[in-house]
Amino acid sequence: MQSAIKLLLSEGIFEGILPKSKPNTSFQITVTLTTIPIFACIMVKLHDKQFEKFISHEDIMHAINGIAVRLNEELKDSKPVFLTVLNGAFLFSAELVKRFQHECELSFIKVASYEGMQRGEISTVMGAEPSLKGRTVVIVEDIVDSGNTIEAIMQILDDEGAEHIKIATLCYKPLAYGKHYKLDYVGLEVNNDFIVGFGLDYDGLGRNLKHIYKHKPSKMTNIVLFGPPGAGKGTQAEVLKENYNLVHISTGDVFRYNIKNATELGLLAKSYMDKGQLVPDEVTIKMLNAEVDKNADANGFIFDGFPRTEAQAEALSVLMDEKNSQIDAMIALEVDDEVLVKRLLERGKTSGRKDDANEDVIRNRIKVYYNETAILKDFYKKQNKYHGINGVGNITEITQRLSKAIDTL
């Protein structure tokens, strides 16, 4: 009998002797118990976003203990109703309520206030039973940020005639809180980060996480694709933007689009472009800033044909600073001049680009590149960001060389 009890308690191989009826028979049983780990990693991905571990399960429990100690002292004779705000507060509430050692009742209320990661309006309200008239009610919340949910529930409890109302929240965002209600029991103060786990969700996911996680914004990847005219920047940018989910900005393309649509910018740029000269910095920088602004949510950019002067490179680094980002690399396609002239004349037969059709204009663009633009190699070299890539070969080969450099960033 004792052996049988042991079998239930532990994992391993067990041996024993059967009882008197079969005295000389021994037996051996192998028992394997499967343990299911609680969902807990350093990083988790929910929908499209990455979250990193922020508050450990132990710290959460410590905070809940702290609240429970005070509730036990302060509400021992009040026979409170713990009003759990669903769905987020269910785990917190379960931990809190089982630590309350006096008479109490439970009730639940549901208020929908979030759409994804945006703060939204309170839309649905369900609950709260039994009647709260004349009762001491403890609102149990997972998180108080703007305070909109608390405000809505306070209104409901007032209407119901609750006598004393206390608020217990696991997390509190003081920077976001805009209401005057006193938060009586606060477990953890957090900054304005978007957090998930231990009941908190991001679009329905993450409530079952053991720890609390915070959103980790993905780092942008910004690349300057560099090289003389005809080096193949445009062709490669088209492939790389798909492979790395980046936005491709070609200043030459933007100028050409403006010329085609006869905009003021186009008319201004045309005279320079037709001669193979650079469009003035002031105009180009302004245009580039506008193009970046149009893509505020981008994962990163491939800048093709920009910067072409030191002033443009400086302006680009200011712009990246403003976005809390940076240029990660200048990746330069290196191609011999005579190959370039041949390629561009060839392209001119089909591209309809005036500046590709005339050998003098082509040679002038290459000259401008060496006189005004090539110095940028040093600009990025000094920052250890320059990657020279052999730009001669077939398209796939060159893409592979570029990808190898990007993958190291």
Task: Considering the complex, state which of residue 114 and residue 255 has its C-beta at the smaller distance from ligand AMP.
Answer: 255
Task: Considering the complex, state which of residue 128 and residue 361 has its C-beta at the smaller distance from ligand AMP.
Answer: 361
Contact 88, 212 (CB under 8 A): no
When asked if residue 55 is in the footprint of ligand AMP (CB under 6 A), the reply is no
Tell me the residue number closest to ligand AMP, measured at CB.
Answer: 252
Strand partners, 200: 197
Report helix, strand and coil shares of the chain as percent, to nearest 5.
40, 25, 35
- Find the binder of ligand AMP among 194, 306, 379, 386 (CB under 6 A): 306
Place of tokens 């900005």: 249
When asked if residue 308 is in the footprint of ligand AMP (CB under 6 A), the reply is yes
When asked if residue 181 is in the footprint of ligand AMP (CB under 6 A), the reply is no
When asked if residue 272 is in the footprint of ligand AMP (CB under 6 A), the reply is yes
Of 322, 92, 291, give the one whose Cα is nearest residue 195.
92
When asked if residue 287 is in the footprint of ligand AMP (CB under 6 A), the reply is no
Annotate each residue in 322-361 with x if it binds ligand AMP (CB under 6 A) or - if it does not, as one string.
----------------------------------------
Segment contacting ligand AMP (CB under 6 A): 44-52, 99-107, 275-283, 314-322?
275-283
At closest approach, how far in Å is the CB of 271 from ligand AMP?
9
Segment contacting ligand AMP (CB under 6 A): 55-63, 93-101, 119-127, 305-313?
305-313
When asked if residue 252 is in the footprint of ligand AMP (CB under 6 A), the reply is yes
Calculate the alpha carbon distances from 133 to 62, 80, 337 in Å: 33, 12, 87
Of 95, 102, 93, give the one whose Cα is nearest residue 72.
102
When asked if residue 255 is in the footprint of ligand AMP (CB under 6 A), the reply is yes
Task: Considering the complex, state which of residue 4 and residue 375 has its C-beta at the smaller distance from ligand AMP.
Answer: 375
Cα distance between residue 143 and residue 149, in whole Å: 10
Count of residues of this chain found to bind ligand AMP when the rule CB under 6 A is applied: 16
Task: Considering the complex, state which of residue 311 and residue 405 has its C-beta at the smaller distance from ligand AMP.
Answer: 311
- Find the binder of ligand AMP among 80, 197, 228, 276 (CB under 6 A): 276
Segment contacting ligand AMP (CB under 6 A): 128-136, 215-223, 239-247, 301-309?
301-309
Contacts of 35 (CB under 8 A, 6+ apart): none
Contacts of 241 (CB under 8 A, 6+ apart): 247, 248, 302
Calculate the alpha carbon distances from 346 to 339, 351, 357 in Å: 11, 9, 8
When asked if residue 229 is in the footprint of ligand AMP (CB under 6 A), the reply is yes
Cα distance between residue 32 and residue 38, in whole Å: 19
Both tokens of 112, joined, read: 């929908």
Contact 226, 330 (CB under 8 A): yes
Residue type, 153: I
Both tokens of 363, joined, read: 């040679």
The pairing of strands 221-226 and 329-334 is parallel
Strand partners, 381: none
At closest approach, how far in Å is the CB of 212 from ligand AMP?
46
Task: Considering the complex, state which of residue 110 and residue 342 has its C-beta at the smaller distance from ligand AMP.
Answer: 342
Task: Considering the complex, state which of residue 144 and residue 224 has its C-beta at the smaller distance from ligand AMP.
Answer: 224
Task: Considering the complex, state which of residue 113 and residue 312 has its C-beta at the smaller distance from ligand AMP.
Answer: 312
When asked if residue 236 is in the footprint of ligand AMP (CB under 6 A), the reply is no
Active-site residue set = 233, 308, 347, 353, 365
Both tokens of 56, joined, read: 């450990």
At closest approach, how far in Å is the CB of 325 from ligand AMP?
19
When asked if residue 251 is in the footprint of ligand AMP (CB under 6 A), the reply is yes
At closest approach, how far in Å is the CB of 252 from ligand AMP?
2
At closest approach, how far in Å is the CB of 182 from ligand AMP?
58
Contact 407, 222 (CB under 8 A): no
Both tokens of 248, joined, read: 């491709």
Cα distance between residue 320 and residue 297, in whole Å: 14
- Which residues sit at the interface with ligand AMP, rule CB under 6 A? 229, 251-252, 255, 272-273, 276-279, 284, 305-306, 308, 312, 365
